Chain A
Amino acid sequence: METTVPQEILYRYLAKKAVQDLRNREDIDIEMICYLNTSPLINYCRLEIKGGDKEWLKEIAASKEKPLVLRQFALSLIRQLKDQNDVKDFLYNLWKTSAEYEIKIEVLWNLLTYDDLSKELYNDIRQNFTVAEWDKWLPLIVEKLGGEDKEKGQVKELMNKFFDL
């Protein structure tokens, strides 16, 4: 007899297994990480994160040697611990020191969950997303928002046409 496993149980299982593997410093397939880092799975993964996970999450997120998608995933997960002061400090520091837009956008997404960002930081955000470099960051923003390749080109065209970017 064929039985169907409810999707939520599958999601929970996948999330638990992935976070456990990361805790144990085991490798996870890159394609799987990309999948885990999409909605709604990412929400299940975040629920598996406990206070004691922050050190390895920080380590992965800040590592220049780890694959980019893994670092992005770690930054998505660390949002679960955003209320811990050292996590906020870590994000501020990573914002200042990271050079790749892929990482900067993930950090920005986390920073924007805080209501008390300083004017200096807003100014810094603006200076990092300049018109001169929009070709690099705009497609990443579209991707982050769940847009397809076609939409990346479309948004660029609209920004160019209407907002002089």
Chain B
Amino acid sequence: MNADKLKMIENIPELVSDISSLPVVASRILHLIADDTSSLEELKKVISLDQSFSSRVLRIANSAFYRRGRSIDDVTAAIMRIGFTTLKALVFATSLRDLCQMSNSTDRLLWEHNTAVSIGSTVIADETNLIAPGETLSYGLLHDIGKVLINIAMRNKYAEVVRMVKEQNISFLEAEDKLFGFNHCDVGEYVANRWNLPEHLTFIIANHHGKDLLKTIDDSGLKKIMFIVKASDHLCSTLEIGMSVAYGNSLSDEEWKFLKLSGPKKLEKVSKRIEEEYPQHKDFVMGVGN
């Protein structure tokens, strides 16, 4: 990122503040914690599939307060590091605060898209056997964290980005660059560094719209995760889940081949699974009917 962009991002006052969860997710978390009959697994599942709680938990687990040894990109490992009682108390208290946060349709669409990409990534990982499905969850969930942050910090202006994307048929990156002078990848990278998120996660947040990634990424594990997230991002947009407007991030033939998803039948199977699994997970996190 160049110095001018960095300076602009540093001058956004609310940018590195906390990301609130949607009120409906906050109330679901409160219910789960207070309910003696709910299991720890249920709570972990909601935290793992919510961009706000996941980013909070990863941020704390990777902070100087807790960080020992390697950095963590997985919510379950983060929970182990923080401890379940402390985590529940933190999640409960932040949920109380999130209960009546103002949220708009853009918040909801971003949440839906990021959750769907997360689910889609696990489906692709499972279908291709490239990596363990659980490893991709937080990557899918947080790849567009920059959009979420810009939308929080510049609420009215982000609606303008969405309008430009729809009306001018341009990508989010172009619209954001035109309007702000920086884009969601720049903001995501800046915040991921501030939050000490792991190197691979930060790379994906910063570069998921990058060119020639097949050639430029050397680390084979990172390459697999990157293309799984990109493919999921593309498929979820095609399936019109969440932000499903003019999307210019399709994969090349070579990239689909790398994922072993070059045939239409395989893609159809993956798309069908995402369509089936996403609503179930969404209902679980938000409660049925929300």
Interface of A with B (CB < 8 Å)?
39, 43, 108-109, 112-113, 115, 117, 122-123, 125-126, 129, 131, 134, 138, 141-142, 145-147, 151, 154-155, 157-159, 161-165
Contact = CB atoms under 8 A, between A and B. Distances in A.
Contacts of B30: 112
The 10 A-B pairs of least Cβ separation, nearest first, read A112-B34, A147-B85, A126-B99, A129-B96, A142-B89, A155-B89, A109-B34, A126-B100, A122-B99, A145-B88
Q: Is the interface of B mostly helix, strand, loop or mixed?
A: helix
Contacts of B23: 122
Interface of B: 17-18, 23, 27, 30-31, 33-36, 56, 59-60, 63, 65, 83, 85-86, 88-90, 92-94, 96-97, 99-100, 287
Contacts of B18: 162-164
Given A126-B97, A158-B90, A163-B97, 4 more contacts: A112-B33, A113-B34, A129-B96, A155-B89
13 contacts: A126-B97, A138-B93, A142-B86, A142-B89, A145-B89, A147-B85, A147-B86, A151-B85, A155-B90, A158-B60, A158-B86, A163-B97, A164-B18
A155 B91 CA distance: 10
A139 B94 CA distance: 14
Best-buried of B18, B92, B93 by chain A (most CB within 10 Å): B93
Nearest to A39: B36
A159 B100 contact: no
Contact of A162 (B33, B34, B59, B100): B59
A81 B85 CA distance: 27
Contacts of A39: 36
A43 B36 contact: yes
B35 A112 contact: yes
A90 B266 CA distance: 57
A76 to B, nearest CB: 10
